Copies of this chain bind each other. A is one copy, B any other.
Amino acid sequence: MRVGLDVGGTKTDAVLVDPAGTVGARVRLATGWGPDAVTSTVVEAVGRLATAAGVPMSAFSTVGVGIPGQVDPVVGAVSHAVNLGIDYLDLAGAAGRALELPVHVENDVKAAALGAAALHGGEGTMAYLNLGTGVAAGIVRDGELVRGTRGGAGEVGHISVDPNGPRCRCGQRGCIEALAGGGAVAERWAKPGAFPVRDVFDAADAGDPLAVRLRGDLAYGVASAVRVLVLTDDVDTVVLGGGVSTLGARLLEDVTEVLDRSAVESAFLRSLSLPQRLEILPAGSPAAALGAALVGDARDGVLFGP
């Protein structure tokens, strides 16, 4: 049995995955802040899974961790995970020593992409588009993560799709993330609230002009990311996930409308059937933690094949 953990800014989601790829026991706990507390969270999550499953930790073959920030998957270290208070942490080393288990670490979006691909099934190329505070994608080709030459594949959030668009926190204008990132939308909306993007959707429904513009920009940004992923890599499916994707059908409808407009304008775009390639991760999906369990295979996701 494998363990997969999705370490988020506030919560950590942990699952057991059997050799057939089925998710078994699942626990959630609050994520600690800073390197030591994050390591403790990982260790505690694995212990709680053992308790929940009624097995000793020695029954687990590997522990995979998806975590935000810049990850060196070879070393198993994470850097610049600002939301977790981590500047640098050798998580595979620290958690591995405490657990006496092999620990693999991967960027959270890339891990979630593996999980989304495993849940989706099938061969070919697919993308997981994470709509969180920022925007990034994980691309999976025949069960394997596409990493690129320096591990930077999937950074579609910082492709500019409007030279006159809003300034991105990265410094460019009109980045996809500046249009569709939850952080950028909240900043432009500039009103307090637990889930500003939903507030924007509600206010747009009520006719608020700023909200209508922000909501339109968000849909345009997501649709642009879908076009980039399909036109560059011809991915068969784009699965939307992350906090903003919990808006569900409301988000899907907006994005589909933008894609439908480009299909009306352009026979070539129409031939690509973009709206049919779009899916959304169900609320509460264990994709991110499941994907983390798949990290570290010689061929990442090809764990359950023949």
| Also in contact, A172 and B234, with CB within 8 A (given A149-B125, A162-B163, A163-B162) | no
Beta-carbon contact of B234 and A160 below 8 Å: no
In contact, B233 and A153 (Cβ under 8 angstroms): yes
- Asked if A229 meets B231 with Cβ closer than 8 Å, knowing A265-B172, A266-B158, the reply is no
Proximity bits, A18-42, B CB within 8 Å = 1, else 0: 0000000000000000000000000
A2 within 8 A of partner (CB): no
Contact: A172 with B233, CB < 8 Å?
A: no
Tell me if A119 counts as interface (CB < 8 A to partner B).
no
Q: Are B231 and A170 in contact (CB under 8 A)?
A: no
Which bracket fits the contact residues of A? Answer: 35 or more
Q: A159-B227, A163-B162 are in contact. Are A171 and B232 (CB under 8 A)?
A: no
> Quick check: A233 and B171 within 8 Å, CB to CB?
no
Q: Does A201 contact B (CB under 8 A)?
A: no
8 Å CB contact of A235 from B149, B235, B269 = B149
Q: A162 CB to closest chain B CB, in angstroms? A: 6
Integer count of this chain's copies in the complex: 2
Contacts of A233 in B (CB 8 A): 139, 146, 148, 153, 232-233
Distance A268 CA – B172 CA, assembled complex (angstroms):
9
Contacts A153-B233, A232-B229, A234-B149; A268 near B162 (Cβ below 8 A) = no
Q: List 18 A-B contacts (CB under 8 A).
A: A125-B153, A139-B233, A148-B236, A149-B234, A152-B272, A153-B232, A153-B233, A159-B232, A160-B224, A161-B161, A170-B266, A170-B268, A171-B267, A172-B262, A172-B265, A232-B232, A232-B233, A233-B233
Give 3 nearest A-B pairs by CB, closest first.
A148-B234, A171-B266, A149-B236
